[in-house]
Chains A and B, each alone.
Chain A
Amino acid sequence: MIKVIAACVIGAALAGGATFVATSLATDSTATAEPVNETLYNYGDR
């Protein structure tokens, strides 16, 4: 049982590390801008 739990922890740790890297890349590569008009806002932009 302990071995199974250890395997789970290792898998989760790897996923956590990969998520951290992916989050950093996503933050660096994307500048999210809200669609803004001068005075009025669209429902959205395609």
Chain B
Amino acid sequence: MASAHGDGAGGGAAGRWTARLLPWAVGLFAGVLALGPALGPGYVLRYDMVFVPDLSLGTVLRGADGFPRAIPSDAVVAVLSSVLPGDVVQSLALLAVFAVGGAGAARLVPRAWYRRGPAGGPHTGAVGGQLASAAAGLAYVWNPFVAERLLLGQWAVLLGYAGLPWVVGAAARLAAARPVAGFAGLVRALVPAAVGGFSSVVLTALTAGPVALGADGAREVRTGAGEAVRGGRWWVRAGLFALALAAVSLPWLLPSLSSGADTDPAGAEAFAARSDTPFGVVGSLLLLGGVWNSGAVPAGYGEPVAASVRLVLCLVALSGWVWWLCRNRPGFGTGLSAAALMGFALALLGATGPGRELLAWLIALWPGFGPLRDGQLYVAPLALVQALGLGAFVRWLTGGRAPRGAGTGVLWRVGVAVFAVLLPVVVLPGLLWGAGERLVPVRYPGEWRAAQAAVAADDRPGAVLVLPWNAYRGPDWSGRPVVVLDPATKLFDRRTLWNDDLVVGTPGGGSVVVAGEDARADRVARVLEPDPRTGMPERLDAGALGALGVRHVVVSAPVDNQFWSESEGLAVVVEGPDMVLLRVPEQHVRPDKAVIPGLEVTGGLVTVGAIIWSMARSGSSLVFQRFGPSAGPGARKEIPK
């Protein structure tokens, strides 16, 4: 008879397979439930989430001036799109967020329990341990943070978020592994953050840095030759962690350092955390919400009843975390707690007047502080704490101190525990099925594909100018308008010039404009002088456009003023309701030299090389990386290489 708490050694091979597969099953289950229709054929477009057919790697690498925010996430998508349809790549990317994140959090639970050995924690094949893992996995990928970032279209950030539990596990292992083995494990775990890019790596540094520093280095492990290995000192672990972060950051770090671009301090006000529940900014952030954009809040989330239940769930989860820390003292516990506190403080910084001023001053001082402007991002470590805390609570429910057997009391606890496992879904139904069908796939209209093909077929050099002079569009291809970064900025296989200023509406009806970083786009704006109400210039002059290096002009929205019919020298190549492609005669065009920055390529090759080395060294990948020792504490064998 199975026991709910399962301290015994039962389970055998079936139990081991269940323990191995359950975390991935939880993540996939959550992913399918959350994405639903978004996994169907077509492209899901929303805010920053723009996938296009046949994304060109050259376009991504040539990109735009300023910070390479789409590197390397778009580069990875472009490479995958060369072997898979773009919409399939998008579905896999979105599903990976849930599968990798859910599995990572679920697998951290048995790792921490193992610290006290089988006598002090559950056997992973037992019902109690499985429910605890499932609770942690589901809570980590089903919370307001994930919902709001998904509705904001920040899939690359979410990919980095999904990798956090893996990096935390790898950082904790630095204390009990040979330096090279620990470093390789860390690089493997950093793959999702590496793909995610800038914000993902910053988030990872915040979350796992304190873990690497604070991990318990007193443990010894035995090598295959019987040699005792003590974990590295704190400065060795810090050095390895920094080196691993640098290794996976090169594709965007090198171009960023040499770009000379500035970040507008106005972003500190525009992207500060805001209240999206009745509990104010502090309460909203504690509940893992508080994203700056009111359009990215799941349906029904801010309602008092739902928010109150969610608050209770958060408090229960935090209580579970404290109980776990006191009972088991997981190696990453202190570091992760510190990371959650620091992240919460960072998130709150922009919510106060002096905090915003400090942030603006820091960003003006050095653009590298720019990522701090989006404060809500930094509640991610708290999300992991709450997920693991809910796992601990479920573990407690299933009878951490209960007598053996499957009596009525134990069955009650199992039933309640299953309910608790699913509670994150109950209190956040707005994420269900494509976030209430706000994430639905669409097909690009025929004229968009025709324009893409026409530009690709043109062998004359020159950039594509995207009009109206505004970054965001509201295509209604799914039947209702969806705000999205203009897909035309990524559709063509050459440099595009578009307005990268960000306009954020304020509650009073005003707006904050965060200036873009593309210096060439700034020059274009000065020449065209577009009408701020329509984003359209009064006229287009072929000579002026050619002098800017523009070969094609794209009008990617329905406009009333079809001025191009009166423009001399511009040929209409494609014309449709929300896509017009105009061509500038080549004699006018003075194209800039289109070069792929060597720094990005070199950095990318080094990063790819480091990842391949880390995987080849262990013969494994992120998927098969094991967190926990196989036979209790102090008995894990490190394979000397």
Contact = CB atoms under 8 A, between A and B. Distances in A.
Contacts of A3: 406, 411
Contacts of B505: 35, 42, 44-46
Given A4-B2, A22-B429, A25-B306, A46 B506 contact: yes
Contact of A43 (B2, B414, B471): B471
B419 A15 contact: yes
Nearest to B533: A39
Nearest to B502: A43
Nearest to B33: A19
Interface string B447-471: 0000000000000000000001011
Contacts of B423: 15
Interface string A13-37: 0111011001101110110101110
A4 B406 contact: yes
Contacts of B468: 39-40
A21 B626 CA distance: 39
A18 B313 CA distance: 15
Contacts of A11: 414-419, 421-422
B425 interface: yes
A42 B504 contact: yes
Interface in B289-337: 292-296, 298-301, 303, 305-306
A15 B418 contact: yes
Interface string B252-278: 000000000000000000100010000
Contacts of B472: 40-43
Contacts of A43: 47, 293, 471-472, 483, 502-504
B414 A8 contact: yes
Contacts of B127: 4, 8
A8 B470 contact: no
B430 A19 contact: no
A29 B300 contact: yes
B47 A26 contact: no
B425 A40 contact: no
Interface in B472-519: 472-474, 480-483, 502-507, 511
Given A18-B426, A19-B422, A34-B295, A39 B535 contact: yes
Contact of B425 (A15, A32, A42): A15
Contact of B303 (A1, A29, A38, A45): A29
Given A4-B2, A12-B418, A15-B422, A41 B506 contact: no
B432 A34 contact: no
Nearest to B292: A46
Contact of B427 (A10, A16, A22, A46): A22
A44 B418 contact: no
A6 B122 CA distance: 21
Given A32-B436, A44-B293, A7 B412 contact: yes
A6 B418 CA distance: 11
Contacts of A34: 295, 474, 480-483
B1 interface: yes
Contacts of B473: 41
Interface in B118-144: 127
B340 interface: no
B274 A22 contact: no
B195 to A, nearest CB: 24
Nearest to B514: A43
A3 B414 CA distance: 10
Given A4-B4, A35-B483, A46 B417 contact: no
Contacts of A46: 270, 274, 292-294, 504-507
B567 interface: no
Nearest to B300: A26
B296 A7 contact: no
B418 A8 contact: yes
A26 B471 CA distance: 32
Contacts of A6: 411
Given A7-B411, A25-B300, A35-B295, A44 B483 contact: yes
B149 interface: no
B618 interface: no
Nearest to B416: A11
18 contacts: A8-B414, A11-B415, A11-B416, A11-B422, A15-B426, A18-B426, A30-B299, A32-B295, A32-B438, A34-B481, A35-B483, A35-B505, A36-B474, A39-B557, A40-B503, A44-B152, A44-B294, A44-B483
Given A12-B418, A42-B472, 8 more contacts: A7-B414, A11-B417, A11-B418, A15-B425, A22-B300, A27-B436, A43-B504, A46-B274
